[in-house]
Amino acid sequence: MTERSSFVGPGLWCLAAAMLFGVTAPIAKPLVDRAGPVLLSGLLYAGAALAVAPFALFDWRRHGRVPRQTLQRLFGAAFFGGIVGPVLLLAGLAMAPASTVSLWLTLETVATAVLARLFFGEHLGATGVLATLLVVGASVGLTGAAPHDTRAAVLVGLACVAWGLDNNLTALIDGVSTAEITAFKGVVAGAVNVPIGLWLGGELAGTGLAVALGIGAIGYGASLVLYVAGAQQLGATRSQLVFSTAPLFGLAAAFVLLGEPLGGRHAAAVLAMGAAIWLLQRESHGHAHRHGALEHTHWHRHDDDHHDHAHADGSVPSGWHQHSHRHEPLSHSHPHRPDLHHRHTHDAAD
């Protein structure tokens, strides 16, 4: 399997996740005033947990006990991505147009890339740095001069940092299935934010409650399952670069559903973001490296020079599939991305 072909499946998963998540902000905006950002964020994640619960329970029964390191990463991802990030986003959404907030979310790509390079061992070359600077410029250009815009931009920016931490932690989780990851984050976020949101005076019942849970099931549940599967293959930065197309879908939804105007600032930001994505997709990285023995669970194929294990029934699946498997020590050289198998350190020459 070539480097380009290995990108197609996971890249499409992340693109589909971006579409589902991108339309969430414009659709959820009318509910913010009634429910409040804390209650609504909890309900969105509760909807995500409900949507994947049957699949998560089935996977959990197959393997039982979860490794301690996996639990630590799950709790970290749930705290930053399920509790902190959505509250900050919805608070900013209450102060600014959904179309502008959707484009500010491109800062999540920058936060993910910077955190991945500084703290999580992902390689980011000169091309990647240039791409992140383009995204920063696009987001800064969208910040209006009005005080409410500034406050909203700060809140959304902090949400992006929280999600950047979430993305990096999630990309490292390999002890459980994607459905289990989504269900765990949804249960934790819902259990924390729903009671707090009700205590703060948020209200949502009847049709509004059903709509919130439905939005969460699709925009957070299905989106998160797809994104996690892609992030495990591409690494946090590259998966986020594809996911950064979400604002484009958000812009379209805000224009169609809310009648929000689009202007020159939006067009310039879209062009800059498109250039950043083009640059990052052209980045290539390869060198000799060694893999240690490893046992984990994630989506994989058997034609990538890393998965040559035998299945219990003797079959060799030709497509993507997910189950627990073991890797023996291996040393080789090939172009690669910082996926679950390539979190090694780099020399200055690399």
Write down the domain spans for the chain. 12-285
Residue in the structure block whose two tokens are 């959707």:
102
Contact 340, 40 (CB under 8 A): no
Look at residue 325 in the predicted model and tell me its pLDDT.
56
Could you tell me whether strands 294-300 and 286-291 are parallel, antiparallel, or unpaired per DSSP bridges? unpaired
- What are the Cα distances from residue 235, in Å, to 24, 41, 128, 147, 258? 24, 26, 13, 37, 35
Q: For the residues 285-302, what does the mean pLDDT come to?
A: 56
Is the per-residue pLDDT at 3 higher than 50?
no
Beta strands in the chain (DSSP E): 286-291, 294-300, 321-327, 330-335
Residue scoring higher pLDDT (263 or 304): 263
Predicted TM-score (pTM) of the model is: 0.70
Proportion of the chain above pLDDT 70, given as a percent: 74
Is residue 286 left, alpha or beta, with left meaning phi > 0 and alpha meaning psi from -120 to 50? beta
List Cβ<8 Å contacts ≥24 apart for 261-267. Answer: 261/99, 262/99, 265/141, 265/142, 266/99, 266/100, 266/103, 266/142
